[in-house]
């Protein structure tokens, strides 16, 4: 008798948020073990970290004299 083969089912596409979360966890784990060794994974971590923390950066301060003409045009 021939051996029976087990068919593997291929599920649908993975959820993007799950994939991103998994990748972020992988990069964080790498950094915690290697302490920024400078490899490509460390570079990916720094790039992702920069993008994710960008929203918390303070906006550049503008001079009041530069902003005043813009407000007068709006009024």
Each domain of the chain, given as residue ranges in start order, spans 16-56
| pLDDT-based confidence at residue 67 (cuts at 50, 70, 90) | low
Distances (CA, A) of 29 to 20, 40, 41: 14, 14, 11
Residue 17 has pLDDT above 90, yes or no: yes
Put simply, whether the predicted model's pTM sits higher than 0.85 gets the answer: no
Give pLDDT, residue 25. Answer: 94
CA separation for the pair 4, 18 (Å, rounded): 34
Once rounded to an integer, what is the mean pLDDT over residues 46-58? 90
Residue 68 has pLDDT above 90, yes or no: no
Give pLDDT, residue 40. Answer: 92
């Amino acid at each position: 008798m021939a051996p029976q083969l087990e068919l593997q089912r291929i599920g649908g596409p993975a959820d993007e948020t799950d994939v991103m979360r998994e990748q972020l966890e992988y990069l964080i784990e790498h950094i915690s073990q290697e302490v920024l060794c400078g490899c490509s994974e460390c570079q990916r971590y720094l790039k992702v970290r920069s993008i994710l923390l960008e929203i918390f950066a303070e906006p550049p301060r503008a001079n009041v004299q530069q902003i005043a003409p813009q407000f007068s045009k709006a009024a």
